[in-house]
Structure 1
């Protein structure tokens, strides 16, 4: 289904803008749209090809055969239409940017929540270790070791969060954050958390 950002005629216009960048075949157009939306929208062939056929019928694109692939190119008439509708295209681009930014924000939120949870688990483990060390009369050394390990672990987590946040922002700016990034991140962080907790018991 076409997302709300593509109102009537907007997807047709966006396809023209992609072809203005370079000639592409249908699958490349689908990939380009998916990348622009950070994986949040991937149109079907049944959505793309009828619009390409209509663009060709209207004289806005031409197609040529390249082996088994059909490559579409924009015509001068197509570029003229783009020029007259530049304002509409700019509005679509802004909506795409907002969509990708919302996804990146969700990913960052997931990272922050996971980091807080890991920090809480480490702090709890450190307190438990300190309590047990008191009971066994080895409070000073074990408590110092536990406190130092906690500080170092928090430094590692902070460095990881900052680096990943920077990486995500860079990827989002290039519209390269896949839709399943958040779920994959949560799954892997949950695995890491489980492994760390297992090593503390």
Structure 2
């Protein structure tokens, strides 16, 4: 969600409030904000770190290296500003409930729209599949009528041989109906939809992992190089199967 859930200067004050609980590194700050908003608002590293840098420049927070992590803590000046603006912070806290409810409503609406679209697409696919099956049945029925007429004409001249021809024609028409390529196309479309869902879930999971790595400051270029190489090999493998 957008940081517009905070008014001008409010995120700055809210960061001071979060750090008033205890010193934290950047990822912990992001998680603390996520928890306070019930998961409906997760600030990006690009939103949080520039504001922390500005607070440090103003002498309101300090940062210290703790191994691979950078830990931020309130200074006396930061705690003094926080105490001076407690009333304003209380107003922000009261407004958070409204923000959470609004964001939750937006999420529910987005999910509802996505489900409606999916239902419409599935219904259209079902209608198309049903129309294809009806077309195949009609073709088979026409073929059977034609074969029957031919057999009847031949029966007047060949008797039993014509009867065998009718049986063969009807059998061929039924076999044609059950082995129609249209059913194969319908199955292929269903598999395509399944593949698209899997790819969307994979993309979302990888994107979340990468953002978490960025927030922790642990995303190396070698990781992306390895990801690119593996995706290229996977694409080549899939191309070889098709």
* Structure whose residues are more often helix by fraction: 2
Q: Which protein has greater RCO, CA pairs closer than 8 Å, 6+ apart?
A: 1
Greater Rg, structure 1 or structure 2?
Answer: 2
